[in-house]
Amino acid sequence: MYAIVEIAGQQFKVQKDQKLYVHRLAEEVGTDVTFDRVLLIDNDGKINVGAPAITGASVSAKVNDHVKGDKVIVFRKKRRKGYKKRNGHRQCFTSITITDIKG
């Protein structure tokens, strides 16, 4: 059984006991989160597609940790002008574990 769910503006294919990283959520570590925007549920070959979301369906998850991703270096240069600019960025993520899929 799997579901396609929208979490923080992105769509994820999730299964029970799966761990994944999503954009930073406002919940505390250790709390349970419920996502109501379920777009598709596949229950052993029986597919239920929403238009755009399935009413009454939800995906429950537990917040494990708040982490930062790898550093991305942004480098800009204009040739023959002496212009160089170096900047770095680390995206904030939340690690969650899917606990239940309700259809």
| 48, burial (CB in 10 Å: exposed 0-12, middle 13-18, buried 19+) | middle
Find the Cα–Cα–Cα–Cα dihedral 20, 24, 28, 33, rounded to 10°: -60
Domain ranges of the chain: 2-102
> For residue range 21-75, what is the model confidence (pLDDT) as tens digits?
999 999 999 999 999 999 999 998 999 999 999 999 999 999 999 999 999 999 9
pLDDT over 90 at 103, yes or no: no
